[in-house]
Structure 1
Amino acid sequence: MTKQRGQAVTDKIIDTAGRLFYKQGFNATGINQVIEEADIAKASLYKHFESKNDLMVAYLQGLHQSWYNRLETDIEKISDPKEKLLALFDHHDARQQFRDFGGCPFIKANNEAGAADPRILTEVQEAKEHAKSYIKTLVANSGHRQVLSDDELAETIFLMIEGGVTTASVFKQSADLQTAKKLIQKLI
């Protein structure tokens, strides 16, 4: 039972920190604010995390896993291989709407803390490489028209999604993600 309680505290700390990191930024989020909003003792936080950077790494690791699980669940509901590629854009669009067009949490973390701690940069890079790998698998199984090679199409989709998420964040709307989807539809 102690292990479960310890995990519950860890999860509560990570969830609170992650919400704050995303909403107000890594640099603007203080350890005391995390402690206060998680309603835990300072000793509890430091029992689980030695530093704010350690907390960011844990947040990114959990975020990566939950992001991938959510993406895979959404995409695997679709049977048509080409529609799976297009559904990537709808998934990212829905996530941006859910996040009030706040942008990609991995990019936000990278912008604020990626240069300061190589572990944070590594976590962001791993998440982005995982996204590319997943797209490559979907492309390879899509039977696309071969206007582009599999690698070229996968890279194009990845870059279109990344750009679409960025512009969705800047302009607070989904139009560019949907435009990117339409362009990819012409290639597949």
Structure 2
Amino acid sequence: MKQRGQVVIDKILDTAEHLFYTQGYCNTGINQIIEEADIAKASLYKHFETKTDLLIAYIERAHERWFSRLEATVNKAEDPGKKLLAVFDYHIERQQIREFGGCPFIKVNDEAGTNDPRVLAQVQKMKLHSKEYIKALVTGSAHKKELTNEELTETVYTMLEGAIVTASVFKNSGPIESAKQIIQKFI
């Protein structure tokens, strides 16, 4: 059973996650978060001194949850090459769930990453973690070696990031599916 403080933190973060993703960080006010989370103003400031502190906590928690779901999806595949392709399947699923709203971390970076180095550093840390994970999957995939591990990692990472952005523009999974088919030729 969660302690009361953690319940309040979760309510705040759940509300912030929804609002930051759907209407944007800059368009979301502290008073709206307080009202929609149904908490006292003092409760918010007890746990998060500033809106930026709340944003950093949101990024950290969202990444932990995102990465946990990614690993669960990838671990369902037994073949090392299929594990790498499962990364694309996971992103297709997440974009469908989010109605092709794009990457939450890129959205945050676009709004707050240029104004606050802490936000930029947190988003970069998250993206580097994703890239390192892809590199581990590439290294374990026994791919065709038409590209080095580093080249294939960069190709997968860049294609995936671009495909997610394109999918959010065209509101369908086609770009991510196409990127997956191209990468499959290298495995």
* TM-score interval for Structure 1 and Structure 2 normalised by the shorter chain: over 0.9
- Separation of aligned partners in 2, 1:165 and 1:93: 8
* Paired position in structure 2 for 1:160: 159
Aligned letter for 1:170?
Answer: V
1:67 aligns with 2:66: yes
Aligned letter for 1:59?
Answer: Y
* Paired position in structure 2 for 1:131: 130
Aligned letter for 2:30?
Answer: I
1:117 Cα deviation (Å)?
Answer: 1.1
Please give the secondary structure, in 2, of the residue aligned with 1:187: coil
Deviating above 4 A after TM superposition, structure 1's stretches of 4 or more consecutive aligned residues are: none
- Separation of aligned partners in 2, 1:176 and 1:103: 12
* Paired position in structure 2 for 1:179: 178
Aligned letter for 1:92?
Answer: H
1:13 aligns with 2:12: yes
Give the alignment's TM-score, normalised by structure 2: 0.98
- Separation of aligned partners in 1, 2:144 and 2:163: 23
RMSD: 1.0
1:87 aligns with 2:86: yes
- Separation of aligned partners in 2, 1:73 and 1:101: 21
1:71 Cα deviation (Å)?
Answer: 0.3
1:161 Cα deviation (Å)?
Answer: 0.6
1:116 Cα deviation (Å)?
Answer: 1.2
Please give the secondary structure, in 2, of the residue aligned with 1:113: helix
* Paired position in structure 2 for 1:53: 52
- Separation of aligned partners in 2, 1:44 and 1:96: 33
